[in-house]
Amino acid sequence: MIGWPQGPGQPGWRHRLGAEPQAWALWIDDSSRGARTLRPESPARIIGTPAAAGTACRIRPGRRGVQTNSGRSGRAPAPHGFDRLPQRTYVFRLLGMGLGALCIAAVLRENGASPLVWSLCAFTGLVWPHLALLVARSSASPYRAELRNLLLDSAQTGFWVAMMQFNLLPSVLLFTLVTVDKISTGIPRLWLWSLPVFAAGLLLGGLATGFAVRPDTSTTVMLVALPMLLIHSIAVSLASNRMVQQIRQKNRLLDELSRTDSLTGLHVRRHWQALADRALHLRQTEGIPATLLLLDIDHFKAANDRHGHAVGDDVLRAVAEAIRAGLRESDDAGRYGGDEFGIVLHATPPGDARLVAEAIRREIRRIGVAEMGDSRITASIGMAPAHGGHDSLEQWIEEADAALYRAKRGGRDRIES
């Protein structure tokens, strides 16, 4: 028996899932609510359909699908990004095999084929795409079933190349398209695995025809082959284009997430520092004034200890909101550390900066947190205008930090520069 992880923070919770089929999963919700996502810092993700609330499962590849400790079974997971592989492939198979079968039929007509060969051709063009989808959908592991289907595509193509007696144009076209299909799935090396399978199909077809070779392509066959080339190529390009757009969109989202502090919605320290660095550079090269504020909540540890971490988080969110309220669109605020915030006031001389800092300080005093009763939240602010003597961002921040220290020493709830 296995020691099942029981919840977030328990051993096993952060195990990586998805790409590796031999992974541990923990279903943390019931099917009415769907699987909750894991905490952002975790590289793991929940996959598949939740079997039961709080049910831990070992994902096993193979026909039996997912084994759970409650003895139920579900679907084996696909690697990340391949959940809809059978559906995606279906459209291309329908097009490729359908148009390919037309091409094959044109050659078979010229070569004269038996009813059995004609019915095999009809199977490839009309039945196989639907059958493949059906098989994949009803399989315990649709992803693996689809991999088999893709290889069977190659086997059939090899078979038909031999059955067409190596008629040059359709043979080359069919081989190219079936290989492009493999490459466009994005599954590493799939097209390479498909080569021996293609060769096996070729061998089978060759044995059936006695390896007859008639490479000449008639104009009729050429005309029938062209739509296959045209339509299939455009369809693959459109799908690739759609994928590129989706990746771009996800990259933008990831970029945004990596720059934003999840608790306060302000910039994370690294991104804020980059913005502050740019402001200092503008001051040194173009003389555009900028002022830096470092703000630290007063006695935050005591508030945290007295009212709990969750209330502490509420305070951090409320302070971030107060900072946002006091700033202009052009200013940049970030979470510098636990209860410390950094603010860059762009194109702002010291006099104006003090007014902004004062407005923020007052706004923070107005914050009311129900759990804290009458206790007021206050903050101390250190202010440092950029000047020619600052050789680096570190120096600028140190100056603001020293001012913040003076504000704390001076009794807190004040601004020092």
Ligand X SMILES: Nc1nc2c(ncn2[C@@H]2O[C@H](COP(=O)(O)OP(=O)(O)OP(=O)(O)O)[C@@H](O)[C@H]2O)c(=O)[nH]1
Residues within the interface to ligand X (CB under 6 A) = 263, 296-302, 304, 309, 312-313, 316, 338-339, 408
The tokens for 345 are: 């006031």
What's the min distance (Å) between Cβ of 11 and ligand X?
Answer: 24
When the beta carbons of 189 and 309 are compared against ligand X, the nearer one is 309
When the beta carbons of 160 and 300 are compared against ligand X, the nearer one is 300
Of 401, 353, 386, 399, residue with least CA distance to 278:
386
What's the min distance (Å) between Cβ of 379 and ligand X?
Answer: 9
How many angstroms separate the CA atoms of 376 and 189, rounded? 63
Residue 402 near residue 299 (C-beta atoms within 8 A): no
When the beta carbons of 197 and 318 are compared against ligand X, the nearer one is 318
| DSSP-based three-state secondary structure for 112 | coil
409: Cβ contacts below 8 Å, ≥ 6 apart: none
CA-to-CA separations, 67 to 22, 77, 136, in angstroms, rounded:
11, 12, 20
336: Cβ contacts below 8 Å, ≥ 6 apart: 269, 272, 294, 342
What's the min distance (Å) between Cβ of 371 and ligand X?
Answer: 12
When the beta carbons of 133 and 295 are compared against ligand X, the nearer one is 295
Q: Which amino acid is at 147?
A: L
Q: What are the backbone dihedrals phi and psi of residue 334, each rounded to the nearest 5 degrees, phi first?
A: -140, 160
Please, what's the largest Cα pairwise distance for the chain?
A: 100
DSSP assignment of 329-347: TT-EEEE-SSSEEEEEEET
What's the min distance (Å) between Cβ of 323 and ligand X?
Answer: 15
CA dihedral over 340, 343, 349, 352, signed as positive or negative: negative
When the beta carbons of 227 and 338 are compared against ligand X, the nearer one is 338
When the beta carbons of 158 and 312 are compared against ligand X, the nearer one is 312
When the beta carbons of 45 and 414 are compared against ligand X, the nearer one is 414
What's the min distance (Å) between Cβ of 355 and ligand X?
Answer: 24
What's the min distance (Å) between Cβ of 412 and ligand X?
Answer: 6
Q: Say how many C-beta atoms besides its own lie within 10 A of residue 33's C-beta.
A: 10
What's the min distance (Å) between Cβ of 313 and ligand X?
Answer: 5
How many angstroms separate the CA atoms of 156 and 122, rounded? 12
What's the min distance (Å) between Cβ of 277 and ligand X?
Answer: 24
When the beta carbons of 201 and 312 are compared against ligand X, the nearer one is 312
